[in-house]
Amino acid sequence: MGVPREIAVVTILDAARKIFSEHGFTGASIAAVAREAGIPKANIHYYFSTKEILYQEVLHRTVQEWLGDCETWLRPESSADTALRGYVMSKLAFSRINPHASRLFAHEILGGARYLGDYLSTTLRDAIHPFKETFETWMARGEIPKGDPTHFLFCLWAMTQWYADMQPQVTALLEKETLEESDFQVAAETILSLVLRKTA
């Protein structure tokens, strides 16, 4: 029996995420993804006809996983304290377990979002509206500092992704070879002490 489609696709996307994050779109190859996944190159072409399609799917999958965390936690009926604690912990856990995903996204954005531009300006822009409304609700209730809700989301993303995107810098400054779970716990508490600070 062959490998079920769902398992095969996940295996390919996980391998592609690692290869693309390490070598970028130009430096990566379908052959390298196949070696990483431990499957024939033809199997990848069966599901993804071109390297560009595979690359875009990896990027879209990463953003959808991040949005899933937002949808789970950033709800106006929840208290900001409970929701942001859950969100920050979940996002940092993702950065710890899947650093390749965050780095790949950062590479794409720093490169001018050539393959993700349309997605960002349409799908993602529409998707963040509910989260902005949630932040406005929390601001009105005095649970988080007042300010621009879109920039508040930017700050949340930046702080939680930093530990993956800039991991060599973080480990060097902390004088560690690798980040441990306790480091992410300290990071979470620090971030929460900032975003939950109430205005007078």
Q: What is the pLDDT of residues 90-144, one digit of tens each?
A: 999 988 888 888 888 988 998 899 999 999 999 999 999 999 999 999 999 999 9
Q: Are 13 and 68 contained in the same domain? A: no
Total number of domains constituting the chain: 2
Q: Are 36 and 61 contained in the same domain? A: no
187 domain-assigned = yes
Q: What is the pTM assigned to this prediction?
A: 0.84
Residue range of the domain that includes 175: 55-195
Contacts of 174 (CB under 8 A, 6+ apart): 183
Q: Are 43 and 66 contained in the same domain? A: no
Q: Are 37 and 67 contained in the same domain? A: no
3 domain-assigned = yes
Q: What is the DSSP string of 128-176?
A: THHHHHHHHHHHHTTSS--S-HHHHHHHHHHHHHHHHHTHHHHHHHTT-
CATH of the domain at 79: 1.10.357.10
Task: For residue 1, name the pLDDT band (cuts at 50, 70, 90).
Answer: very low
Q: Are 20 and 45 contained in the same domain? A: yes
28 domain-assigned = yes
Q: Are 167 and 77 contained in the same domain? A: yes
Any idea which of 58-67, 74-83, 135-144 has the lowest mean pLDDT? Answer: 58-67
- Residue 17: what pLDDT? 93
Q: Are 110 and 151 contained in the same domain? A: yes
200 domain-assigned = no
Q: Are 23 and 118 contained in the same domain? A: no
